[in-house]
Amino acid sequence: MQVDKIYFENLLNEELLSLDYLTEGQIGPIYTLKIPSNRYLLKTSKPSTHLQTEVRMLKDIKKYDIAVPAVYDSSESHLLIEFIEESRVSGYDQEIEAAKVLSSLHSVTNDSRMYGYWYDTTIGPFEQKNEQTQYNWTLFLGQMRIMPMAKICFDKGHLPKGMLGRVEKLCRDLYKYIDMSQITPSLLHGDLWSGNILFNIKSVFLIDPAIYFGDREMELAFIFLFDTFGETFFRHYSEVHPLSKEFHETKVPIYQIYPLLVHVAIYGESYLPALEKRLKQLKV
């Protein structure tokens, strides 16, 4: 994508010293933009609502005094945000600080006990539908998360028909696996791997959100999947939100199916063995 340098010079009212390609994001190239007084992160994409949805999600998280990058400008094809310079501080335990931030995020609920969100959000390059299914977490998880992503995988030719059928059967029976009476809707980041939580001397920052209200242990299963954090994190987190008895044996394999399907949809069949392992654990 061609970046309009003059636009950003006029916006920031300073000379643009450099515009450097950083990496390829899920929806387009990402750059660092430098002016004499500051440095920014510039995300770009083909025209869509994707980046403006990201702005809404960042602002919603910020309402609860959780640090996110400041937003400076956005459009259908770009998002200019604060560049977070990561740093290590002596005596600072990242896992403890992450546990504080996520236990705080997961303490946010809503008065109507709604699962989902007030608008559709995104994860990676995909839209997340957030039709509100009050009181019924397993219905939301099956109909709004797992099955739509499984169908995307199937349509891309990455998910065999037989495996699609097994995933569909699991979704029909989710209520048999999970005790919904013990679950309260919690605000989730939704895509919490190590690249989406940044640490520096100022704070712990959450980036690239995929928010919705769900079982907070959905987030923890995602953390387990990619070894984002270890024992220290879980010990401090569980002081605020104790883990359910069914977490390790039942919820972890169920809740890892959605992020695994997202990875199948993006990266292809290399993630199918991990998906097969979870289905076998659940005897599906």
Asked if residues 113 and 184 have their Cβ atoms less than 8 Å apart, the reply is: yes
Q: Output the CA–CA distances (angstroms, integers) from residue 40 to 33, 121, 223, in the order listed.
A: 5, 24, 28
Active site residue 191: yes
Query: How many other CB atoms are found less than 10 A from the CB of residue 161?
Result: 8
What DSSP character marks residue 253?
H
Distance CA 199, CA 92 (A): 10
E strands present in the chain: 18-24, 29-35, 38-44, 71-74, 78-82, 121-123, 126-128, 186-188, 197-199, 204-206, 212-214
* DSSP 8-state symbol, 244: P
User: Which among 73, 93, 155, 191 is annotated as catalytic?
Assistant: 191
Euclidean distance between CA atoms 21 and 29, whole angstroms: 7
Element housing 260 (H / E) = helix 257-267
Residue linked to tokens 């219905």 = 139
Closest among 48, 36, 40 to 83, alpha carbons compared: 40
Q: Residue 80 pairs with which residues in a beta bridge? A: 42, 73
Q: Catalogue the active-site residues.
A: 191
